[in-house]
């Protein structure tokens, strides 16, 4: 852990008696605590921080060598030591890596992009009307978010569907709406062993009845070939891209099919601009670095155990779900790279929902609950619709919530008292476009990585998910009447379940 805890705690103690409302009353506060780049304004004015505390945080960023960390990441150093690999997602969109490894990765990326483009052109000139992207986790959440968020930029050539869950209800609902003769299926799975994707993929393959419209994206091309998918319809990804960082690769094929080439290129360009910003901008003006420092301050110094993601834009409704995986799968670790326990808390629980809907749901707890929740509010200045009155109302709610949480409102009636002191980050996008969305998602990716450097943990493995998968595989035969398995509780449950399944 690279945080100077005693000094940071001293800062928190110094600020403890100062209400956040007083900090927010300073006339220059908003401008002093805002940084803009690539059409995104990061506002930290409503954090329980002043300039001195921020300097101490920035000193931790020096100690953790965040700049060196970004260089190592983009150059393909082994930043994922438990799997002995680099994490070169930046090579999917940027030319910044100068090492031979990064250059070789970039060449493969560009060659794959060309092949994907060729397949897209073929699909566009075919009679296919519907695309089903089958995948889960990182092979689903990013593409699904982007396709949903950027509907206004879609060229309308295809209807895009996502099939994720092993629960057959999703498949049963989707297939009656589609015609197999006019549907193409993309099996998206880095490992090509994921149970959900394998089962759903097999069902869709039978349903298609013709493999010529079955495609795969995987790092396990041998396995795709083994089940008979012609290599001309298999696009590679690589072990040096983590699933949750992979929407920029052929995993995002559905994005390219939805937006057309220009839209996909703009998305990549926005992310590339954020890569350059992260690598080249001084720490105190660096959006991902500042975002990460504030996240760690809230988690470890103020002890906030959950993080709400609150987009005030319906188009970003899937952002909380995407960030749940990105943040919690990356930072949900309890040991440092060395294997020793981390001395502080790491990842908060990430959750959220869109405004203003959430105001009428869980905001009561944000304002008056016993737990203070760290919040990221995300707003978009220019709407993509003509309902100006609605948009003004949306933005007024966004600003009001940030103020109400921070400043509160005193009342002698305890039930009507708002304590305030509840910090939030405000991320304001000039407009939601492929470019700005690419930049926003890359900002979060780099913030996550910067947090991992501050905690000295591995952001790129996910061993925690393996045990449950293994046990489920061991139990599967018992569900069809095979040998009982599991511990006493599971066995007892199986005894009552199995007769019901017959
Ligand atoms: O179970 C977690 C996980 O491995 C994620 O990290 C990954 O994004 C997801 O499963 C899907 O994996 P795959 O792309 O290999 O099917």
In a domain, residue 84? The reply is no
**Mean per-residue pLDDT, 377-389:** 97
> Is 48 noted as a catalytic residue in this protein?
no
- Closest residue by Cα to atom 2, ligand 1, is 465
- Closest residue by Cα to atom 5, ligand 1, is 137
Among the atoms of ligand 1, which is closest to the Cα of residue 246? 8
Q: How confident is the model at residue 502 (pLDDT cuts 50, 70, 90)?
A: low
In a domain, residue 44? The reply is no
What whole-number distance in Å separates Cα of residue 349 and Cα of residue 102?
Answer: 33
pLDDT at 449: 98
In a domain, residue 251? The reply is yes
Choose one of 216, 241, 261: the last residue of a domain.
261
pLDDT at 118: 98
Q: Which residues pair with 159 in a beta bridge?
A: 130
Tens of pLDDT, residues 238-251: 999 999 999 999 99
Only one residue has tokens 């990221």, namely 376
Q: Are 40 and 432 in contact (CB under 8 A)?
A: no
Q: Which domain holds residue 494?
A: 464-501
Which tokens go with 367? 């304002």
Q: Say how many Å lie between the CA of residue 306 and the centre of ligand 1.
A: 24
> Is 469 noted as a catalytic residue in this protein?
yes
Q: Are 28 and 56 in contact (CB under 8 A)?
A: no
Q: CA torsion, points 129, 243, 374, 333, in degrees to nearest 10?
A: 160
In a domain, residue 494? The reply is yes
Choose one of 261, 285, 317: the last residue of a domain.
261
Among the atoms of ligand 1, which is closest to the Cα of residue 194? 16
In a domain, residue 157? The reply is yes
501 pLDDT higher than 90: no
- Closest residue by Cα to atom 10, ligand 1, is 137
What whole-number distance in Å separates Cα of residue 165 and Cα of residue 159?
Answer: 20
- β pairing state of 34-37 and 349-352: unpaired
Q: Are 459 and 288 in contact (CB under 8 A)?
A: no
179 pLDDT higher than 70: yes
In a domain, residue 403? The reply is no
Q: How many domains, in total, are found in the chain?
A: 2
Among the atoms of ligand 1, which is closest to the Cα of residue 244? 8
Tell me how crowded residue 121 is: count the other CB atoms within 10 A of its CB.
11
pTM to 2 decimal places:
0.97
> Is 360 noted as a catalytic residue in this protein?
yes
E strands in 286-412: 306-311, 349-352, 374-382
Tens of pLDDT, residues 324-365: 999 999 999 999 999 999 999 999 999 999 999 999 999 999
Q: Say how many Å lie between the CA of residue 243 and the centre of ligand 1.
A: 6
Among the atoms of ligand 1, which is closest to the Cα of residue 196? 16
pLDDT at 148: 98
DSSP 152: G
What whole-number distance in Å separates Cα of residue 253 and Cα of residue 404?
Answer: 42
Task: Find all residues with CB under 8 Å of 374, minimum gap 6, and list them.
Answer: 295, 298, 299, 302, 304, 306, 307, 308, 348, 423, 424, 425
500 pLDDT higher than 90: no
Residue environment code for 18-48, b if the CB has 16+ CB neighbours within 10 A, otherwise e: ebbbebbeeeebeeebebebbbbbbbbbbbb
The catalytic residue among 89, 329, 435, 445 is: 329
Only one residue has tokens 């897209």, namely 120
Q: Which of 80, 138, 145, 197 to mutate to test the pocket of ligand 1 (most atoms within 8 A of CB)?
A: 138
In a domain, residue 309? The reply is no
- Closest residue by Cα to atom 16, ligand 1, is 189
Q: Which of 191, 195, 224 to mutate to test the pocket of ligand 1 (most atoms within 8 A of CB)?
A: 191
**Could you tell me how many helices (H) and strands (E) the chain has, helices first?**
19, 11
Strand order in the sheet with 349-352: 34-37, 40-43, 424-431, 374-382, 306-311, 349-352
Q: Are 75 and 87 in contact (CB under 8 A)?
A: no
pLDDT at 125: 97
Task: Find all residues with CB under 8 Å of 499, minimum gap 6, and list them.
Answer: none
**Mean per-residue pLDDT, 276-287:** 98
Of the candidates 290, 132, 267, 270, which has an alpha carbon nearest to the alpha carbon of residue 213?
132
pLDDT at 1: 84
In a domain, residue 457? The reply is no
Choose one of 241, 261, 281: the last residue of a domain.
261
Q: Provide the CATH number for the domain around residue 212.
A: 3.40.50.10490
What whole-number distance in Å separates Cα of residue 385 and Cα of residue 390?
Answer: 10
Q: How confident is the model at residue 498 (pLDDT cuts 50, 70, 90)?
A: confident
**Mean per-residue pLDDT, 431-457:** 98
Tens of pLDDT, residues 95-134: 999 999 999 999 999 999 999 999 999 999 999 999 999 9
Tens of pLDDT, residues 15-54: 999 999 999 999 999 999 999 999 999 999 999 999 999 9
- Closest residue by Cα to atom 13, ligand 1, is 189
Q: Say how many Å lie between the CA of residue 16 and the centre of ligand 1.
A: 42
Q: How confident is the model at residue 147 (pLDDT cuts 50, 70, 90)?
A: very high
What percentage of the chain reaches a pLDDT higher than 70? 100
Pocket, ligand 1, Cβ cutoff 6 A: 136-139, 189-191, 194, 197, 243-244, 329, 462, 465
Q: Are 161 and 132 in contact (CB under 8 A)?
A: yes
Handedness of CA 432, 433, 434, 438 (dihedral sign): negative
On average, the pLDDT of the chain sits at: 96
467 pLDDT higher than 90: yes
Q: Say how many Å lie between the CA of residue 139 and the centre of ligand 1.
A: 7
């Amino acid at each position: 852990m690279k945080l100077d805890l005693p000094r940071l705690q001293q800062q928190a103690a110094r600020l403890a008696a100062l209400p956040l409302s007083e900090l927010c009353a300073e006339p220059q506060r908003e401008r002093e605590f805002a940084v803009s780049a690539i059409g995104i304004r990061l506002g930290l004015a409503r954090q329980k921080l002043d300039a001195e505390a921020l300097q101490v945080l920035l000193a931790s960023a020096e100690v953790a060598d965040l700049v060196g960390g970004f260089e190592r990441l983009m150059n393909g150093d082994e930043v994922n030591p438990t799997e002995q690999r680099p994490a070169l997602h930046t090579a999917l969109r940027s030319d910044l890596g100068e090492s031979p490894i990064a250059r070789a990765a970039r060449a493969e990326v560009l060659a794959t992009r060309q092949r994907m483009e060729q397949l897209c052109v073929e699909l566009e000139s075919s009679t296919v009307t519907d695309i089903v992207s089958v995948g889960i986790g990182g092979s689903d959440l990013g593409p699904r978010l982007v396709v949903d968020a950027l509907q206004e930029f879609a060229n309308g050539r295809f209807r895009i569907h996502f099939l994720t869950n092993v629960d057959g209800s999703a498949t049963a609902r989707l297939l009656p709406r589609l015609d197999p003769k006019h549907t193409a299926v993309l099996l998206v799975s880095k490992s090509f062993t994921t149970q959900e994707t394998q089962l759903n993929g097999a069902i869709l393959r039978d349903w298609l009845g013709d493999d010529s419209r079955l495609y795969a994206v995987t790092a396990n091309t041998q396995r795709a070939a083994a089940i008979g998918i012609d290599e001309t319809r298999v696009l590679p990804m690589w072990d040096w891209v983590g699933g949750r960082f992979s929407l920029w690769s052929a995993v995002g094929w559905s994005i390219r099919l939805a937006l057309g080439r220009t839209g996909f290129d703009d998305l990549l360009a926005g992310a590339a601009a954020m890569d350059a910003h992260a690598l080249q901008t001084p720490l105190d003006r660096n959006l991902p670095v500042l975002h990460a420092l504030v996240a760690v301050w809230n988690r470890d110094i103020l002890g906030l155990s959950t993080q709400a993601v609150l987009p005030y834009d319906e188009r970003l409704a899937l952002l909380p779900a995407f960030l749940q995986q990105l943040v919690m799968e990356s930072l949900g670790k309890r040991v440092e790279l060395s294997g020793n326990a981390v001395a502080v808390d790491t990842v908060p629980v990430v959750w959220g929902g869109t405004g203003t809907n959430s105001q009428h749901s869980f905001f009561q707890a944000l304002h008056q609950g016993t737990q203070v929740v760290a919040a990221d509010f995300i707003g978009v200045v220019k709407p993509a619709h003509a309902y100006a009155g609605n948009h003004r109302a949306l933005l007024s709610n966004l600003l009001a919530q940030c103020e109400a949480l921070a400043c509160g409102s005193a009342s002698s009636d305890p039930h009507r008292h708002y304590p305030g002191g509840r910090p939030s980050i405000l991320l304001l996008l000039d407009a939601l476009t492929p470019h700005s969305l690419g930049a926003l998602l890359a900002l979060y990716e780099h913030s996550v990585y910067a947090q991992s450097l501050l905690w000295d943990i591995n952001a790129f493995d996910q061993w925690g998910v393996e045990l449950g998968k293994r046990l489920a595989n061991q139990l599967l035969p018992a569900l069809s009447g095979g040998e009982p398995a599991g511990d006493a509780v599971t066995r007892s449950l199986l005894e009552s379940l199995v007769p019901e399944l017959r």
